């Protein structure tokens, strides 16, 4: 998935705001720490969409 513009597709597909706090992308793997804001139904749909594409989602509770 490193050659797929996942973040770009995510914000185009869903009515959410994505704020990237930290990220590390390597040749074979990577991670992004980000805050999603917007309507909770849109956020839930966005997270489901990411999981369907094989991304691991680890929510951070505030």
Q: What is the pLDDT of residue 10?
A: 97
DSSP secondary structure code for residue 9 in this structure: H
Element (H, E) at 30: strand 30-38
Residue 40 lies in a domain: yes
Q: Does the structure show a pLDDT above 80 at 20?
A: yes
pTM: 0.87
Q: What is the pLDDT of residue 37?
A: 96
Query: Which residues constitute the domain of residue 44?
Result: 6-52
- Mean pLDDT (the chain) is 93
Element (H, E) at 51: helix 40-52
For the segment 42-59, the average pLDDT, to the nearest whole number, is 96
Closest of 6, 11, 20, 21 to residue 42, by C-alpha: 11
Please give the C-alpha separations between residue 42 and each of 13, 14, 47, in angstroms, as whole numbers: 10, 6, 9
Confidence of residue 27 (pLDDT cuts 50, 70, 90): confident
């Amino acid at each position: 998935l490193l050659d797929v513009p996942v973040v770009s597709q995510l914000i185009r597909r869903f009515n959410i705001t994505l704020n990237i706090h930290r990220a590390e992308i390597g040749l074979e793997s990577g991670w992004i720490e980000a805050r999603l804001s917007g309507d909770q139904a849109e956020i839930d749909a966005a997270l489901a969409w990411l999981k369907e594409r094989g991304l691991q989602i680890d929510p951070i509770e505030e």
